[in-house]
Structure 1
Amino acid sequence: MKLNPHFKLRSIAGETIIVNQGTPDADLTRIISLNTSARLLWEQLSGKDFTLQEAALVLVEAYHIPQDQAEKDAAAWADDLSKCHILLADDYV
């Protein structure tokens, strides 16, 4: 899977948001905000192909959480981004 390159991170008023750049039909009425761990995943995985296991490893290394919890969190992150068409993947589970 891969993060859609049309979306970029921006910090506004202390919040990290994702904005759609380069797509004329973008729905600008929705703002997607990221928490600290979601931002970490974005920053570590942006611009490359990755698996859920690689995303989970980022969380394990950063937060020293159990692998099974990291896998659940990575899957939830991927699912949320997929629903917003930010994650490019046919099947990421």
Structure 2
Amino acid sequence: MQVKNGFMLREIAGQPVVVPLGARVVEFNGIMTLSESGAVLWRRLEKDASVEDMVQALLALYDVDRETALQDVEAFVESMKSNRLID
């Protein structure tokens, strides 16, 4: 999975947000606020990460069990797909 062209992660007032650029502004009017872990996952997606890559990233950074990390990644991916931010 990979982030579609035309979306970037930025920090606004200390908060990670996804913003559309160029023609994507018409498709996605607004911004999407991410949590700290959401920003970690987004950065992985920028590098064409798999679900397993993202799970491993959460396990390395947070005190969380594998099942919880997997559920969080799956929910994040579903949200990104439903908002048409990833391929």
Asked whether the two chains share a fold, i.e. TM above 0.5, the reply is yes
Q: Which residue of 2 aligns with 1:63?
A: 62
Distance 2:64 2:53 in 1: 14
1:70 alignment partner, SS class: helix
Q: Following superposition of structure 1 onto structure 2, how do residues 1-93 of structure 1 map, counting pairs within 5 Å?
A: 1-23=1-23, 25-28=26-29, 30-46=30-46, 48-88=47-87
More strand by share: 1
> Which structure has the highest helix share of the two?
2
Report the TM-score, using the length of structure 1 for normalisation: 0.81
Report how many aligned residue pairs link the two structures: 86
Gaps of 5+ in 1: 89-93
Give the aligned residue type for 1:18: V
- What is the CA distance between 1:40 and its match in structure 2? 1.1
**Structure 1 vs Structure 2: percent identity of aligned residues?**
26
Which amino acid is 1:9 matched to?
L
C-alpha spacing 1:3/1:27, structure 2 compared with 1 (3 Å): closer
Which ranges of structure 2 fall in alignment gaps of 5 or more residues? none
**Separation in 2 of the partners of 1:56 and 1:87?**
17
